[in-house]
Amino acid sequence: MQNLSPLHLLAPLPMSEISKLPTRLFHEDGKFNLYHLNELYKSLAQRVSLQISEELEEKITITSGMWGGQYLIANEEGKARTNVVRLYCLVNLPQNTQLDKQENFERLMVLYHQSLSNAFAMHNLHFVNPRWGEPIPYTNRQRPTTVLQMWEKNDRIKFLRAFYVWNSAPWEDSVIYDTIRNIKVIKELLDYKKRPVKKLSEEYKFLLQDVLIIYYTLHSALTADFLEHAEPIMAELLEKFLKGMHDPEIIEEQYLNIYSNAIVHGLEEALERPYKKAGLDILKIESWPAEKINWVPQELKENVGHALTKKFLDFKKNIERKLTPDPI
């Protein structure tokens, strides 16, 4: 297997080494470039790391990247195939630093929402009304994940939501770890041991979108038997999403198809086995030791983490190739 370095190194960088903010986020048709969006989150984490480290006179290393799986189905240069109307990112914070003090964490939130607002304003997205501090269900009880959320005042984007996770980790690891939480969320409506739940079409669509995100994130860790069973079901769901799924009957039909085929249980199994080898029960993630937040078994690093890293390296290569003129 090719040795790929993580996208984010776990050490604060001097200003001269901080990656540049992207000058372009959108293609001509208004679609996001998800490689550049991820680079924006990465660069902002490095900049805020440096700023908060200087203010607190302590080395504070923060990493960040996209949350959500649009990049998994993007074109070869990272262009989104559908309109992105909600922005999410993961932000990983170190434990046992001065950020544990409430006033310092509040200061970090101010720096972060200012940095996000300023960066997106360069691309004509204007985020306002920051709110933060809400704990997220199915996260560590000692150090729950919290959220910063802002709304785009012109409704070009519905909102931007940043998840703050309490342990240093490369972005790839935090994506894998957060998938445990997301599986617990979707299982509320997809556990075949319980009766299907009647919901509004919009709620079903959010659920089905999360199923797609988890499936394609964990694709390289899924068992051969489960892939054989699930692939045609998930391919049909993805096709309907890409074409635009608006009919309430079709949406509910897709929900019942995912529910009756026990898709959530196959996704759960992909994570359950490797974590169980390390003595960790993903069904009880809330009670794990705080030091196990963002912890990922080597097996998952090598398949899922490797695939995530390669995806963005390929985006970068293809973008650079397009920008390089052909030799005369």
pLDDT in tens, 157-215: 999 999 999 999 999 999 999 999 999 999 999 998 899 999 999 999 999 999 999 99
Residue 69's pLDDT is 85
* Distance between first and last Cα of the chain: 36
Asked whether residue 4 carries a pLDDT value surpassing 50, the answer given is: no
pLDDT at position 18 is 72
- Give the per-residue pLDDT at 14: 57
How far, in Å, are 31, 128, 301 from residue 186 at the CA level?
28, 30, 23
Domain contains 114: yes
Is 69 within a domain? Answer: yes
1 lies in some domain:
no
User: pLDDT: is 61 or 19 the higher one?
Assistant: 61
Q: How many domains does the chain have?
A: 1
* pLDDT on residue 2: 38
How far apart CA 298 and CA 305 sit, in angstroms, is: 9
Distance CA 74, CA 236 (A): 17
Establish if 25 belongs to a structural domain.
yes
CA separation for the pair 291, 163 (Å, rounded): 18
Task: Give the residue from 166, 160, 204 showing the smallest Cα distance to 66.
Answer: 160
Phi/psi at 132 (5° precision): -150, 165
- Average confidence (pLDDT) over 78-94: 95
Bin 12: left if φ > 0, else alpha if -120 < ψ < 50, else beta: beta
- Please write the tens of the pLDDT for every residue from 244-291: 899 999 999 999 999 999 999 999 999 999 999 999 999 999 999 999
Domain with 273, as residue range(s), is: 15-323
In a domain, 96, yes or no: yes
Q: Tell me, what's the pLDDT at 9?
A: 42
Q: Please report, as a single letter, which amino acid is at residue 37.
A: L
pLDDT of residue 210: 95
pLDDT at 1: 38
Q: Indicate whether 219 belongs to any domain.
A: yes
Q: Between 243 and 16, whose confidence is greater? A: 243
Average pLDDT over residues 63-76: 92
% the chain with pLDDT above 70: 94
Token digits of residue 173:
């690891």
pLDDT of residue 13: 52
Residue 217 token pair: 């994130």
Residue 72 in any domain: the answer is: yes
Q: Is residue 308 part of a domain?
A: yes
Q: Which of 27-31, 138-142, 288-292 has the lowest mean pLDDT?
A: 27-31
* Least confident among 14-23, 147-156, 193-202, 296-305: 14-23
Measure the CA–CA gap between 305 and 316, rounded to whole angstroms. 17
pTM over 0.85: yes
Of 34, 72, 65, 33, the residue nearest 234 (C-alpha): 72
Question: How many CB atoms lie under 10 A from the CB of residue 235?
Answer: 10
pLDDT at residue 302 in the model: 96
Using the predicted structure, report yes or no on whether residue 96 has a pLDDT greater than 60.
Answer: yes
Percent of the chain residues past pLDDT 90, beyond the cut = 85
